[in-house]
């Protein structure tokens, strides 16, 4: 090959570079903040300890803390934990429907004041709290607390402009608060007894105790035919052909 040929095909003497290895992205991190405008909502965030003259109030923080125990038990295939997550899911849905209806009613009444443009009252110094929960149901409950906070602001505004009387305004707040307190107290009835479906089927001592303190487990939950919409990834264990699979498509925590 002469010099002219080499100049005509310079790529013949070049080495093709291999692409560099692309690194994997790191773990995801984010922040969630809840902003509250009213003292009524703040009380339901923190809760209240009991005393000789007053009963305790379970707040969102206590709800989330107890729910964390249930979430971990569901990861270990405790069917009672699945049952409680189903109850929590249903209660969240029901409370949300009540709060939405109350909000829609109040908003509609304010909108009927066609001669006035009414903006809902807001705090000059709102309470802003960072949330770090271990499961998605706690965040859904936090969303409900935010909806209740907005409802209280709307009710107070409606009272201020004469749409609601004092008793009606108080009734709106009491109804929403009562529903949230019942929801937040729900996980407290669960007892962690370190059992799984196999133990319940074998009727071990702890399984019998679970039935005594938490009631008879519905058969469809024990069989795995009815599961919570949101589930943790199950703890790693040898696969069993007799156990129903827990669909990964429903796992929200990515663990």
CB atoms < 10 A from the CB of 83, how many?
Answer: 21
pTM: 0.81
Q: Is 218 exposed, middle or buried (CB count within 10 Å of its CB: 0-12, 13-18, 19+)?
A: middle
Strand partners, 54: 51
pLDDT at 247 over 50: no
pLDDT at 159 over 90: yes
CB atoms < 10 A from the CB of 154, how many?
Answer: 24
Per-residue confidence (pLDDT) for residue 238, from 0 to 100: 45
Per the model's pLDDT, the better-predicted residue between 29 and 241 turns out to be 29
Alpha-carbon distance values, 209 to 69, 78, 172, 195 (Å): 18, 14, 41, 10
Instruction: Work out the average pLDDT over 148-168.
Output: 95
Instruction: Work out the average pLDDT over 227-255.
Output: 58
Instruction: Work out the average pLDDT over 65-81.
Output: 95
Q: Which of 12-21, 37-46, 187-196 has the lowest mean pLDDT?
A: 12-21
Per-residue confidence (pLDDT) for residue 49, from 0 to 100: 84
Q: For all residues of the chain together, what is the average pLDDT?
A: 87
Spatial distance between the Cα atoms of 209 and 165, rounded to a whole number of angstroms: 51
Q: Which of 10-14, 67-71, 236-240 has the lowest mean pLDDT?
A: 236-240
Spatial distance between the Cα atoms of 230 and 141, rounded to a whole number of angstroms: 14
Instruction: Work out the average pLDDT over 97-105.
Output: 97
Q: Which of 41-50, 61-70, 74-83 has the lowest mean pLDDT?
A: 41-50
pLDDT per position as a tens digit, 161-204:
999 999 999 999 999 999 999 999 999 999 999 999 999 999 99
Per-residue confidence (pLDDT) for residue 146, from 0 to 100: 97
Instruction: Work out the average pLDDT over 53-60.
Output: 89
pLDDT at 57 over 80: yes
């Amino acid at each position: 090959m002469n010099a002219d040929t080499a100049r005509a095909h310079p790529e013949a003497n070049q080495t093709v570079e291999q692409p560099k290895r692309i690194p994997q992205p790191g773990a995801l991190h984010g922040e969630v903040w809840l902003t509250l405008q009213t003292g009524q909502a703040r009380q339901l965030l923190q809760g209240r300890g009991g005393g000789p003259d007053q009963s305790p109030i379970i707040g969102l923080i206590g709800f989330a803390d107890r729910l964390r125990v249930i979430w971990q038990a569901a990861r270990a295939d405790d069917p009672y934990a699945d049952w409680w997550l189903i109850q929590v899911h249903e209660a969240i849905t029901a409370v949300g429907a009540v709060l939405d209806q109350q909000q829609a009613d109040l908003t509609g009444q304010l909108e009927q004041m066609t001669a006035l443009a009414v903006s809902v009252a807001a705090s000059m110094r709102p309470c802003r709290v960072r949330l770090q929960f271990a499961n998605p149901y706690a965040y859904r409950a936090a969303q409900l607390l935010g909806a209740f906070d907005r409802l209280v602001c709307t009710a107070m505004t409606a009272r201020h402009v004469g749409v609601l009387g004092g008793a009606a305004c108080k009734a709106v707040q009491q109804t929403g608060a009562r529903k949230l307190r019942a929801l937040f107290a729900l996980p407290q009835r669960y007892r962690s007894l370190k059992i799984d479906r196999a133990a319940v089927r074998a009727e071990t001592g702890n399984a019998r105790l679970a039935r005594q303190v938490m009631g008879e487990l519905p058969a469809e939950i024990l069989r795995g035919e009815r599961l919570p919409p949101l589930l943790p990834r199950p703890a790693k264990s040898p696969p069993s052909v007799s156990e129903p699979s827990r669909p990964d498509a429903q796992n929200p925590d990515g663990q």
